[in-house]
Chains A and B, each alone.
Chain A
């Protein structure tokens, strides 16, 4: 056995490591083992993001309809609540809508923080054990960020698609099949992408504090927890 380093000098090779592939593997396993729990955590994100996507895609559809220049469609838009001036060729979401979206996203983030804090508490012993085996703070941080990132990506993408789907269906029922003809596909794609991105970001923001709590934990504290 190697004893020549017994004098205690800090050598470079004295580093513990966790390859990225392995962390990914562990976090996927953790997600799968707690599938339903992860699903519920993700669900609030799905809902909030689908709302964002719904509103954005709804606006995209309205803009598509306006771009046709058809006065009948313009009338229909005004009747369904779009605040259009006589010369407007473009519409955005109303301040009220924006407020509701922001609120729903904030509520969703708080929900994620809450759920992740509980997940950390539940996994105190697991985290402490890993630390006793030599895991560094950043390994733990990385595991939580990866899990949350994957949850965020899946949840936000699903939410964005659901929101876009219902926005198009809703508009189709309201204005007729003309919607499908004038649908600005690139704008819709941007909206879906944006909603997915926002969802991922919120998921990561939500896990940051719980993950730091987990990573900073002393192994001895983890051992003390009685279940």
Chain B
């Protein structure tokens, strides 16, 4: 079977939330196609529906109407087991708050998704060490999260996201809790992985540092796609952003 170029397809997606008796339309019809191997940033002010769209793409939430395809699979059709499998094998998650499991060491955090995927213990440990070396934590794999800095914890999270060779890495504000330099390091790490391993990186952010490395930037406003900019168009609009702020 030929590989499709679109790893994620979002088609006419709407999402409504109930806040008490009021129904809030968060997404009002989104169409989006994301190409395999690209680095995508989803930008938008808070409340724009950015996180909601992001959760849809990650299979964490289901749309009210419309369809989300990940690797040509409609996620609305999946049952709990298949969704778990999808989260385990196809998608790697990176969070703003790192979400390293506090009772486990760095290495155990990285091996956990592999254990879920049925990889043997020795193999998982070996690969876990390799991944931690890849993100620059080769000497700290026995450390507990409390003994690691924020940037290091986020590196562990990146290694964990890569554990099962996912097709997509979803990063929700990965630099939101990091200082400027550390945030930049994480961005370049993600970019490097995207280029070297062909992983599609999708990140929701309002960190303008992200723009430099993105292949495509999706701007969300009021539940709709405002504009999608390719890499070449970006250099022009970055100046604009500078002025806007």
Genuine A/B complex: yes
Contacts of A17 in B (CB 8 A): 116, 118
In the complex, A132 Cα to B116 Cα: how many Å?
11
B101 close to A6 (CB less than 8 A): no
Is A6 a contact partner of B72 (Cβ separation < 8 A)? yes
A14 to B88 Cα, complex, angstroms: 10
Known: A16-B117, A133-B160. A8 touches B77 (CB 8 A): yes
Cβ-based interface call for A107 (8 A) = no
B52 to chain A, nearest CB (A): 9
Q: Would you give the shortest CB distance from B141 to chain A, in whole angstroms?
A: 16
Who on chain B is nearest to A227 by CB? B97
A72 at the interface (CB under 8 A from B): no
Partner of A133, one of B58, B74, B112: B112
The reply to whether A219 and B60 contact each other, CB–CB distance below 8 Å, is yes
* CB-based contact A220/B55 at 8 Å: yes
Complex partner residue of A125 from B58, B99, B167, CB under 8 angstroms: B99
B205 to chain A, nearest CB (A): 15
CA distance A129 to B94 in the complex (A): 10
Nearest chain A residue, comparing its CB with the CB of B52: A220
Q: How far is the CA of A29 from the CA of B105 in the complex (A)?
A: 10
* A136 CA to B83 CA, complexed, in Å: 9
Q: Tell me which of A16, A17, A135 has the highest count of chain B C-beta atoms within 10 A of its own C-beta.
A: A16
Q: Are B81 and A136 in contact (CB under 8 A)?
A: yes
Q: How far is the CB of A121 from chain B (nearest CB, A)?
A: 15
**A contact residues, total (Cβ < 8 Å):** 38
Q: Contacts A17-B118, A29-B103: A132 and B1 contacting too (C-beta < 8 A)?
A: no
Decide: B88 and A7 in contact? CB cutoff 8 A: no
**Which of A8, A32, A133, A136 lies in contact with B80, CB distance below 8 A?**
A136
> Does any Cβ of B come within 8 Å of A131's Cβ?
yes
B64 to chain A minimum Cβ distance, whole angstroms, is 14
Report the Cα distance A26→B165, complex, angstroms. Answer: 24
Are A18 and B116 closer than 8 Å at their CB atoms?
yes
B113 within 8 A of A: yes
Report B93-111 residues with CB < 8 Å from chain A CB: 93, 95, 97, 99, 101-104
Query: Can you list, as one digit per residue, whether each of A179-222 has a CB less than 8 Å from chain B (1) or not (0)?
Result: 00000000000000000000000000000000000000011100
Give the docked Cα–Cα distance between A116 and B174 (Å): 31
Question: CA–CA, A19 to B1, complex, Å?
Answer: 34
A131 to B59 CA separation, bound complex (whole angstroms): 12
User: Is the CB of B181 closer than 8 A to any CB of chain A?
Assistant: no
B81 touches A14 (CB 8 A): yes
- B101 / chain A contacts, CB cutoff of 8 Å: 126, 129-130
Say yes or no for B238: interface residue by CB 8 A criterion. Answer: no
> Which residue of chain A has the shortest Cβ distance to B3 in the bound complex?
A3
A220 near B160 with CB under 8 A, answer no
Residues of B within 8 A of A218 (CB): 60-61
The residue from A3, A126, A134, A227 contacting B87, defined by CB atoms under 8 A apart: A134
Complex formed: what's the CA distance from A15 to B77 in Å?
16
Q: Which of A14, A30, A134, A227 contacts B103 (CB 8 A)?
A: A30
A33 to B187, CA, bound (A): 32
| Chain B neighbourhood of A125, CB < 8 A | 97, 99
Interface: B188 (CB within 8 A): no
B74-A135 in contact (CB<8A): no
Q: A126-B101, A126-B102 are in contact. Are A134 and B89 (CB under 8 A)?
A: yes
B208 within 8 A of A: no
Closest to A129 in B: B99
Q: Which residue of B74, B79, B104, B115 contacts A18 across the interface (Cβ within 8 Å)?
A: B115
Does B73 make an interface contact (CB < 8 A)? yes
Question: Contacts A17-B118, A220-B60, A223-B60; is A135 near B103 (CB within 8 Å)?
Answer: no
B126 proximal to A (CB < 8 A):
no
User: Whole-angstrom distance between the alpha carbons of A220 and B102 in the complex?
Assistant: 19
A10 contacts partner chain B, Cβ-Cβ < 8 Å: yes
Q: Which residues of B contact A (CB under 8 A)?
A: 1, 3-4, 55, 58, 60-61, 71-74, 77, 79-82, 84-85, 87-89, 93, 95, 97, 99, 101-104, 112-113, 115-118, 160, 165, 167, 172
Residues of chain A having any CB pair with chain B under 8 Å: 1, 3-4, 6-8, 10, 14-19, 22, 26, 29-30, 32-34, 125-126, 128-137, 139, 218-220, 223, 227
Listed A/B pairs (10) with beta-carbon separation below 8 Å: A3-B1, A3-B3, A15-B81, A15-B85, A15-B118, A16-B116, A130-B101, A133-B112, A134-B85, A227-B97
